[in-house]
Amino acid sequence: MPAGANDARGRVAELHAIREQVRRGPSERATEAQRAKGKLTARERIELLLDEGSFNEVEPLRRHRATGFGLEAKKPYTDGVITGWGTVHGRTVFTYAHDFRIFGGALGEAHATKIHKIMDMAIQAGAPLVSLNDGAGARIQEGVSALAGYGGIFQRNTKASGVIPQISVMLGPCAGGAAYSPALTDFVFMVRETSQMFITGPDVVRAVTGEEITQNGLGGADVHAETSGVAHFAYDDEATCLEEVRYLLSLLPANNRENPPTVPCEDPADRSGDALLDLVPADGNRPYDMRKVIEEIVDDGEFLEVHERWATNIICALTRLDGRVVGIIANQPQSLAGVLDIEASEKAARFVQMCDAFNIPIVTFLDVPGFLPGVDQEHGGIIRHGAKLLYAYCNATVPRISLVLRKAYGGAYIVMDSQSIGADLTYAWPTNEIAVMGAEGAANVIFRKQIAEADDSEAMRVRMVKEYKSELMHPYYAAERGLVDDVIDPAETRHTLIRALEMLRTKHADLPARKHGNPPQ
């Protein structure tokens, strides 16, 4: 007998029909409109993020229960957000993706409840959470219920902070209070032209200040990657962006109780870095590209730079040494001579905290002339911002190794993970200069009277500079006083770091019992 609508086969057929409807989405017209903007659908994005065939959807049949303003006549499945879990490189990852084709991806009560559930599942399972953001903010028709939904998301973002990796991928608009969820996560990815983030849009800015600006000019990917520092990564297209998210996940542990994944390494641990002798000029006033130094030392020359285009005077990168993940923080002499300023301090401090939260050892490369002087810096709070980096290093319990390549002057030397603030091991190259300040400035202060009274003041100044350097700034001064554990041949840097990290792999350090610290803001 043919299957009837009320028997088991009929019910299964009905289920498959509904599932197909859910998979297709609201309409072809809505899908075409999404693609006309140069954007993928939510399901296409999930397919690019997760391993093929690994996605398990949660609550695909969920519908809202709101009434009024025509909502009772429009109750699409999923309620505008797709939630679930799958794998990335075989490891479990949870995700949710706004479906802009349904209510513009706007958040309502049912929509928010789905996100809350998947966030709770990720925290309980101890697995990363990736949000694929493409929504128009709170669903106005649902009023304060929608706003409360955002509160629940923020609360869970904070609860998950430092427990599981949280990654926000901006693939469309994100305005108003909705922008605070990505800001609470560990990493923010953006796609040029199609994604924007701002608290108040161009229309409000125009009405309040009279300033004319486009959405991308106000909160586009390049603005947040270069100027505000809100975005850690920016890419030209969604496929590249999501592939880089997969790469980042391969460098992170599933949660704070695990170590990052180790991979087989064919790059010899004892490989000599002879090129380093030519990459770094002995003259401390000559610039060079610190990225090339990092490439020469790490496995196969590969690393993922975080905040590459913001605060370019410092480099923060995830990479591997002998197959094990490490975080690298390095001054960049090519930009502002590698000085520390407000933005560099904030960038490095957040990176240190992330590494410490997720059991990633930290290696610091120093070539720093000091903090950037200036009225803007002082009035902008360089003291409290610089203290953020100091606090982050002092609070970190993961293995910490510092390496002085050339200059390490004044307070910046102390802040950049010196031995005195808890670095486990400190090495230096024979080109190092560790001092309170540069020899010229120091001589001008200490020998001011002798220089002023000399018949040939310039000759006296040159002689005093030379004397100061020979007495207090020679390459072995800090090592002789135990402030540097060893002065090493630059060519042996890779092997030295790998052996030291292997020894420190079982390091255990406890912080004082406390609810939490009160870091400088």
Residue 90 is a catalytic residue? no
Amino acid at 147: L
- Let me know: does 85 contact 107? Beta carbons within 8 Å: no
d(CA 324, CA 71): 52
Please report how the helices 439-446 and 457-472 are oriented relative to each other, as an axis angle in degrees rounded to 10.
Answer: 110
Beta pairing partners, 138: 107
> Residues 381, 411, 422, 441: which is the catalytic one?
411
**DSSP string covering 418-437, please?**
-GGGT-SEEEE-TT-EEESS
d(CA 254, CA 166): 10
> Residues 408, 412, 423, 479: which is the catalytic one?
412
In the numeric block, the tokens 């000019």 are attached to 217
Both tokens of 191, joined, read 């796609």
Residue 220 is a catalytic residue? no
Residue 176 is a catalytic residue? yes
In the numeric block, the tokens 């966030």 are attached to 119
- Let me know: does 168 contact 133? Beta carbons within 8 Å: yes
Beta pairing partners, 132: 97, 169
Residue 177 is a catalytic residue? yes
Give the count of beta carbons closer than 10 Å to the beta carbon of residue 383. 13
> Residues 177, 323, 380, 422: which is the catalytic one?
177
Distinct helix (H) and strand (E) counts, the chain: 21, 17
In the numeric block, the tokens 């002057």 are attached to 409
Both tokens of 427, joined, read 């090495």
To 5 degrees, how large is the angle CA 92–CA 318–CA 495? 120
d(CA 163, CA 152): 17
Q: What amino acid positions are annotated as catalytic residues?
A: 176-177, 411-412
